[in-house]
Structure 1
Amino acid sequence: MYFRRFILGAVAAAPLLAAMAGAAQAQTVAPDAARAFIQQSGQQLVSIVNSSATQAQKADQLRDLVNRIVAVDQVGDYVLGRYLNALTPQQHQQFQTLFHQLLSYNITYQIKAYQGISFTVNGAAQQGNDMVVDTTITSPGKQPADVGWAVDEIDGSPKIVDVIVAGTSLRITTRNDYAGVITDHGGQVSALLDAMQGQITRIANAQ
């Protein structure tokens, strides 16, 4: 599960989308286009992780990359699920801000443990509304990890909308986790916001 934790940090902590609410329009990406997008994105990821830059520089570069290749805002709305409509506009803005912050912190933390990774793009096949690109990612001393990247075209550009590790969708896992927090607190969405803020505070204090 070591690579699942890395992916959670690198692309979305949480990573993501599909039948989301909002103005962005998602369309299926052609297989070749999806493979090319993931090939390019993977090369950029590997280049950053394996570079001689400082950890702080790598973290900044990865945050910028993630914001360009992942539908972060839409991912956030997806993982909220049915609770999205329970948020006030102010709470929604707060959630998205916290979601981005957690992603940034996770990236900074996770890249410390990875150097020398390689990235191989395999096939692509449509699964539901998404085009899923299969890849193999290796890291020295660790077993290769098979990772699927779900890609949609959103407002004319390909974006990553889910990451599938060991057959598990991270967007669904994250949505279930978030729903569990809310349910455990009597359906209060504010409890999730408090939990996310608490996690950010703990990470910041530990650095």
Structure 2
Amino acid sequence: MYFRRFILGTVAAMPLLAAMAGAAHAQAVSADAAKAFIRQSGQQLQGIINGSATQAQKADQLRQLVNQIVAVDQVGDYVLGRYLNVMTPQQHGQFQNLFHQLLSYNITYQIKAYQGVSFIVNSAAQQGNDMVVNTTVTSPGKQPADVGWAVDEIDGSPKIVDVIVAGTSLRITTRNDYSSVIVGHGGQVSALLNAMQGQITRIANAQ
């Protein structure tokens, strides 16, 4: 399941998403503005991961950074797809809470794996409603990876809404994975919530 792969697994590799849920608040970002945003965000990310703080301090700093640069709530609604319309307000609130928790666990899990990460910002081009910034990401012992960052303006600020790795949109992959869980349990969205909670419990117990 995609839970373990989601966001900073690929914000650090580096990942993250057509029309978004909540797209009424999304606007196009210019190529120069998107490149500047990704360059600054990447430098902040590098500074935290490669810094001298403790692992716990880095995890906290990364959580704060990701909440600033990624449209987490909008991404969460996007990956729910059509099931967003059948969730009760309580289920939706629970989903967003679990989604944020899984992101936080992923951030903590990925810190050591990406020590020494560096990146180069290349070109930027409009793709659908998003401005996609192409970067080359390098980590010690790994081949350089070409990663595209989709950026939209959300409520007045640029935000990452998707990451494209090897031509694959991670928000679409996540949506397909979540849908498979729900479909596999007779269309019950509660099955997805239970699966997400189970994943959080397993990660917490393994730490």
TM exceeds 0.5?
A: yes
Aligned to 1:151: 151
Question: CA separation in 1, counterparts of 2:199 and 2:64?
Answer: 22
CA drift of 1:112 comes to: 1.9
Question: CA separation in 2, counterparts of 1:183 and 1:6?
Answer: 20
What amino acid sits opposite 1:181 in the alignment? V
Runs of 4+ residues over 6 Å off in structure 1: none
Aligned to 2:175: 175
CA contact (8 A) 1:78 1:175 kept: yes
What amino acid sits opposite 1:146 in the alignment? D
Q: Are positions 1:51 and 2:69 aligned together? A: no
Aligned to 2:94: 94
CA contact (8 A) 1:10 1:66 kept: no
Q: How does 1:37-116 map to 2 (within 5 A)?
A: 37-116=37-116
Bigger drift between 109-118 and 188-197 goes to 109-118
CA contact (8 A) 1:136 1:147 kept: yes
Say if 1:68 and 1:142 are closer, same or farther in 2 by CA, change over 3 A.
same
CA drift of 1:9 comes to: 2.9
Question: CA separation in 1, counterparts of 2:16 and 2:62?
Answer: 15
CA contact (8 A) 1:10 1:106 kept: no
CA drift of 1:21 comes to: 3.1
Say if 1:6 and 1:189 are closer, same or farther in 2 by CA, change over 3 A.
closer
Say if 1:142 and 1:7 are closer, same or farther in 2 by CA, change over 3 A.
farther
Aligned to 1:202: 202
Question: CA separation in 2, counterparts of 1:19 and 1:34?
Answer: 18
Question: CA separation in 1, counterparts of 2:149 and 2:39?
Answer: 11
- Runs (5+) with no aligned partner, structure 1: none
What amino acid sits opposite 1:119 in the alignment? F
TM-score by length of 1: 0.93
Say if 1:15 and 1:149 are closer, same or farther in 2 by CA, change over 3 A.
closer
Say if 1:199 and 1:5 are closer, same or farther in 2 by CA, change over 3 A.
closer
TM-score by length of 2: 0.93
RMSD: 1.8
- Runs (5+) with no aligned partner, structure 2: none
CA contact (8 A) 1:11 1:103 kept: no
CA drift of 1:198 comes to: 0.2
SS in 1 for 2:115: coil
Question: CA separation in 2, counterparts of 1:43 and 1:134?
Answer: 15
Q: Are positions 1:131 and 2:138 aligned together? A: no
